[in-house]
Amino acid sequence: MKKTIMTSLFLLFSFGIFAQNQVRISYVSPDSIPSATLDLMDFLDIKYMKMKIHGDIKGKKWQLWVNESHEGKITSKSLFPYAFEFSDTLATFVFIAQDQNDTLTLVCKTPRYSMPKTKYAIDTKNGTAPPTPYILMETLPPTPYTTSDEINLVAYTTGIKRIHQGMDAYDFCGLRYAKTDPKQWQEKFKLPRFVYFSLRLE
């Protein structure tokens, strides 16, 4: 009986620690955007992604990082010169992106600061038939995040290249639901150049 009680207490304690350190991301549907605005965004080929980060983040400092993958090499840099602090257990981030001629222009709105327009190189191979399609994609983790993890938020990427009826096709769902860390995308899926954004907590 005593052993059973001790085991139960240990499990409760372990679960409590895990819950304290857990961080979850929920991606928000763009349905709340007026239809006329969605039509304009579609005409201008503007992509939009909004996410809510919730969990044991209040009081923790954070930095937003951009990670550019090209030819199997990932280059990472912080987007801000110093760390910000979460003031609540819930935070919202918004990414807005547009690409033209192999250049991605992106803006990110964070809980404390809006990033100015920033340009990144991508690999759409514009001028060929057809160009490689890119989207803003969720970066679903293989296991739940904790506060000690690097938390991947979103990627601007193409899909996994397939051959369908003798033509090139791109499988976005296959990449999204593979739940693979973007660090492994180039090796596992042979993706061309892509960009992804991540949070690091202090």
Helical (H) or strand (E) element with 20: helix 2-21
Q: pLDDT > 90: what percent of the chain?
A: 61
pTM given for the model:
0.86
- In this model, does residue 9 exceed pLDDT 70? no
CB 193 within 8 A of CB 122: yes
In the chain, domain spans: 24-201
Q: Which residues contact 157 (CB under 8 A, 6 or more apart)?
A: 134, 135, 137, 175, 182, 185, 191, 194, 195, 196
The reported pLDDT for the residue numbered 4 is 52
Identify the CA nearest to 188 among candidates 150, 161, 167.
Answer: 161
- pLDDT mean across residues, the chain: 86
**For residue 150, how many other CB atoms are within 10 A of its CB?**
14
CB 59 within 8 A of CB 86: yes
CA distances from 184 to 75, 166, 201 (A): 14, 27, 22
The reported pLDDT for the residue numbered 173 is 95
- In this model, does residue 157 exceed pLDDT 80? yes
Q: How confident is the model at residue 150 (pLDDT cuts 50, 70, 90)?
A: very high
The reported pLDDT for the residue numbered 11 is 44
Average pLDDT over residues 76-94: 93
Average pLDDT over residues 30-52: 91
